[in-house]
Amino acid sequence: MDIDELFKVPKLPRGANKRKLPDNPTPDMLKKMKLEAAANAPSSSSPSPPPPPPPSRKATVEDEEDDEMDGTFAPGGDADYFAEEDGEGRFFGGGLTSEQKDILNIFEKSGGEGVDETDELSITRIRRLLLSFERAVNKNQDQRSKYPNDPSKFIDSEADLDGAIKALLPLSQAPTLSYPEIVRSGVITLLVGLLTHENVDIAIDVVELIFELTDEDADLDQDAEDDERVEEAVTTLIESLVENSVLNLLVDNLSRLNEQEESDRQGVFHILGIFENFVGLNPELATSLVSGTTILEWLLKRLQAKKHDENRSYAAELLSVLLQDSVEIKIAFSKHDGVETILKALSQYRKRDPVDADETEFMENVFDALCSALSEASVKKLFLEAEGPDLMILMVKEKLESKSRSIKVLDYAMSGPDGAPICEAFVEALGLKTIFTAFMGKTSKKSKTNTTTTAPEDVAHSLGIISSLFSNLPSDSPSRIRLLTKFVEGEYEKIDKLIEIRESARKRLKATDSQIETDRKDIIEEDGEDGITADIEDAFYLQRLDGGLFTLQTVDFILAWVIMEDDGIRTHALRMLDRNNQSQKDIVETLKVYEDHADDNIKEDSLSQKEILRGLISALDTSQS
């Protein structure tokens, strides 16, 4: 019988020897250790155990074996092999090595906090956990100051500190009870201070703790009715963390961590997650984060990494989140060569598709970040200077996964008065042929069929691009004439396509209006006419926009221009409208609704959208009379 096989020792968990300090075992790890130890007992390891010797010889055999053992032998290095025995006098031990026993001892010293006891959290236990943490911090600081050059003197206190930090993780399950106590006790100062700890593993522990405490799932044990109280507790905790300069210290740790190591890579991931948690709960913190730290520079640098990984994808996602609303962040983005960096990151997808879903998500987040930034005039200018329109047109031509996102970027870049120079550059770069090919859903001449199904988002953004061209290209300019010519080509096929899209949007809007009317009646029956407030009306309008009105407005805006500027197009368009019992008057009615809700902001040397619509309505009314 092979004794080593009989008492096989379970392998250490992966990462248990991370740097100098082993990880504190989780509850799952402890259960796994127990199961493995039980599985390695002789009753399960040996398929046909030999029958036990006669009772009269049993003691004699054991005595002889004991005499032969010198006290140093233990199968598999089992630390407790000679300390434990079963009812029949056989020694099995715990199936754990000395190092694994040390891990369990560390866990026991921490009080065993956090093991399936989240339901038992009380204010007394919370305070005891916080007090244990405070003592562990003070003891470690004291030991390190006394023996700065002798790690053996403070390694035990460091292990205790590691356990004390991990023991605080269950507090995330009772935020309304524990978070106010964390803030009141002053533990926040000690916690944030550990982000500068000499042992980077301790800093990573703190990062993981803050991530768990501020995660959106931190209120797993809370009822829906307590959501407001939970949000208030998390907000209070985040405010206290920010007051203690946690943003700067977290960003400093980004450059401190070495992502070649798994633990450090996870630390970076959790830091980015903390920032997302903070901004998700309080969007105003985004501006403070960018203006008060170097996070923007780090994110842009991280995007340029040649090797793709999860943290690179997360960096793109966080950048996209930060650029959504703040004008200050968009300006800062433009000043740090953000446009150039993003275009370089996207250029790799001109000739190839992302290799997997994670890289696809990365690509989409980078595109979204650029779209958000392009609402700022300075970013549009840099986009033009960096030849962004040319790159997007090339990517649309390639018909790869980046095609739809490139069309979206062009739509954002060319919109508004600030997009006029980009509209000119778009026509000069032969973008008209490219965008109308995408709009019509045409394939190459080699294809057996001449049309394919165009994605709805591609159609919507293509309509936005065409709309911007009519708004921004000067009258009678060569670029505008080339645009109008496109609507004459192919026997007015693009007008037919517009009418087809218009009819589809009109049917969707009709169904939406029917639903809104039902909802309106329900509100009036319950609250009377006073129940239809201005907010309700705005909600109904947004519902109509999503239900087909936005597409209808964009199509009619384009039709109004071509009808007004070309008699041949006008004749054909009106004939096609008549087939659906529609007329020029219906286009006017759509534009009037559009004008009522249009932006009236006037940029110097340009007309507002409301003024453009007003002029179109007047011109169409005149041509009807």
pLDDT in tens, 86-98: 444 444 445 556 6
DSSP, collapsed to helix, strand or coil, labels residue 195 as: helix
Q: Which residue has the tokens 């340029």?
A: 304
Question: pLDDT tens digits for 410-461?
Answer: 999 999 999 999 999 999 999 999 999 999 886 544 443 344 456 788 999 9
Q: State which CATH number among 1.25.10.10, 1.10.3720.10, 3.40.980.10, 3.40.640.10 fits the domain covering 110-282.
A: 1.25.10.10
* Residues in contact with 616: Cβ distance below 8 Å, sequence separation at least 6, in sequence order: 557, 560, 561, 564, 591
Please name the residues in contact with 201: beta carbons below 8 A apart, sequence gap of 6 or more: 18, 19, 20, 21, 162, 263
Are 83 and 136 contacting, i.e. CB atoms less than 8 angstroms apart? no
Is the alpha carbon torsion for 170, 171, 177, 181 positive or negative?
positive
Look at residue 49 in the predicted model and tell me its pLDDT: 46
Residue 150 has a pLDDT of: 86
Residue 457: the pLDDT is 87
Rg of the chain taking only CA atoms, in angstroms: 34
What are the φ/ψ torsions at residue 85 (nearest 5 degrees)? -145, 155
pLDDT value of residue 22: 40
With tokens 């007004």, the residue in question is 564
Q: How far apart, in whole angstroms, are the C-alpha atoms of residue 579 and residue 109?
A: 83
- Residue 209 to residue 219: CA distance in whole angstroms: 15
129-182 pLDDT, tens digit per residue, is: 999 999 999 999 999 898 888 888 888 999 999 999 999 999 999 999 999 999
Residue with tokens 């913190």: 285
**92, 142 Cβ separation under 8 angstroms:** no
> What are the structural domain ranges in the chain?
3-106, 110-282, 500-624
Residue 152's pLDDT is what?
85
Tokens of 465: 């691009």
Write out residues in the chain with pLDDT < 70, as ranges. Answer: 1-120, 217-226, 442-454, 600-605, 625
pLDDT at position 621 = 85
